[in-house]
Amino acid sequence: MKLLQRLPLVALALAAPVCAEDLPTFSGSIERLNPELDALIAPSIKIEVLATGFNWSEGPTWHDGQLKFSDVPENTVFAWKEGDTAAATFLKPSGNDGTDTSGQGSNGLTTDAKGQLILCQHGARRIARLEKDGTFTTIADRYEGKRFNSPNDLVIAKDGSIFFTDPPYGMKGNAAAREIDFNGVYRIAPDGKVSLVVQDLTFPNGIAINPDGSILYVAVSDPDAPRIMAYDLQPDGSVKHPRTLFDATPLKSPDRKGSCDGMKVDTQGNLWLTGPGGVLIVTKEGKHLGTILTGQATGNCAWGGEELDTLYITADMFLLRVKTLANGVK
């Protein structure tokens, strides 16, 4: 990829941990709507609370043997590893270079084939890579010369292309600086070229690719029409045949917080997607098998562990974990 910019924005160090003492207790459960779910999550499995006390946890990824995730309003990436009783600051600032008035930091994170951390940076309005020396390299920050709105979530295809969503959520208090008047889905090719993939979605949010690379999924967090869109992914990175794979509108209720947001897929092609109530497990045909009920508005999830057989969940103030029988696609 073309290296466009390097900024010495960060210091990599573990700081004071975020502890669970004197904070609201967690209450959650696993709702089983179809017996097929038992093959993905054993009936005896419970939801584990790993850390709490965050403002809005988001964008997790398994990176360097740890779970890394964003606290978007706090402009921070936290780290948690097995044996920790709390999460600790890994990166601050994580996505705002001080020139943006919203104060928003990083959101979606992922790990590339070289093990490098790739970030959607709300405040800096770009996709960036964290280098070993603690600087950021800008991978892309513009489409046709105009700055992105606020890159939100991303996925890396097998050929190294980066697909990401660009809603306006990170532009709070900074709407006048908007240069692109639609909320797009983009692709950054391995040579650094940026192309527009989808233009007609209201609020594109989470994004994923199925195991064989033939389908692109985009979560739409439209309050009036929360849903998962599916597209046939072409060799050149364009898409065809848009369709709604899963309509989450019937699940909306006052006691089921959240909307369609982040998502991941497992090796069988099932989607594990955040939506009303928590994390919904949906087959590649769109059948809803069950929900990991978190009781919170739930932002995102990611596979972790050596076998990618553990689902880590960022749910508002909580970092959660569910052991699975499924294996994830990173």
**The CATH number of the domain where 232 resides is what?**
2.120.10.30
Tokens of 204: 């594109």
Residue carrying structure tokens 């040579």: 191
Cα dihedral value 94, 58, 117, 269, nearest 10: -160
- Report yes or no on 4 lying in a domain: no
Q: What is the DSSP string of 242-288?
A: EEEEEE-GGG-BTTB---S--EEEETTS-EEEEETTEEEEE-TT--E
- Report yes or no on 7 lying in a domain: no
Question: What SS3 class is residue 63?
Answer: strand
- Report yes or no on 246 lying in a domain: yes
Question: What SS3 class is residue 322?
Answer: strand
Q: What is the DSSP string of 83-136?
A: T-SSBEEEESSSS--S--TT---EEEEEE-TTS-EEEEETTTTEEEEE-TTS-E
- Report yes or no on 221 lying in a domain: yes
Q: How far apart are CA 93 and CA 291, in angstroms?
A: 34
What is the number of domains present in the chain? 1
Phi, psi angles (nearest 5°) of residue 308: 50, 45
The alpha carbon dihedral of 235, 239, 241, 245 has a sign of positive
- Report yes or no on 6 lying in a domain: no
Q: Note the pLDDT of residue 145.
A: 97
Bridge partners of 77, per DSSP, are 70, 91
Q: Model confidence over 3-34: pLDDT tens digits?
A: 333 333 333 333 344 444 545 678 899 999 99
Closest alpha carbon to 207 in 158, 156, 281, 282 = 156
- Residue 90: domain span: 12-329
- Report yes or no on 3 lying in a domain: no
- Report yes or no on 286 lying in a domain: yes
Assessment of whether the complete model's pTM goes beyond 0.85: yes
- Kindly provide the b/e burial profile for residues 209-248, where b requires at least 16 CB atoms within 10 angstroms of the residue's own CB: bbbeeebbbbbbbbeeebbbbbbebeeebebeeeeebbeb
Q: What is the pLDDT along the chain (330 residues), one digit of tens a residue?
A: 333 333 333 333 333 444 445 456 788 999 999 999 999 999 999 999 999 999 999 999 999 999 999 999 999 999 999 988 889 999 999 998 776 666 789 999 999 999 999 999 998 999 999 999 999 999 999 999 999 999 999 999 999 999 999 999 988 767 778 999 999 999 999 999 999 999 999 999 999 999 999 999 999 999 999 999 999 999 999 999 999 999 999 999 999 999 999 999 999 999 999 999 999 999 999 999 999 999 999 999 999 999 999 999 999 999 999 999 999 998
- Report yes or no on 153 lying in a domain: yes
Count of Cβ atoms closer than 10 Å to residue 323 Cβ: 15
Closest alpha carbon to 47 in 287, 255, 294, 229 = 294
Q: Note the pLDDT of residue 4.
A: 34
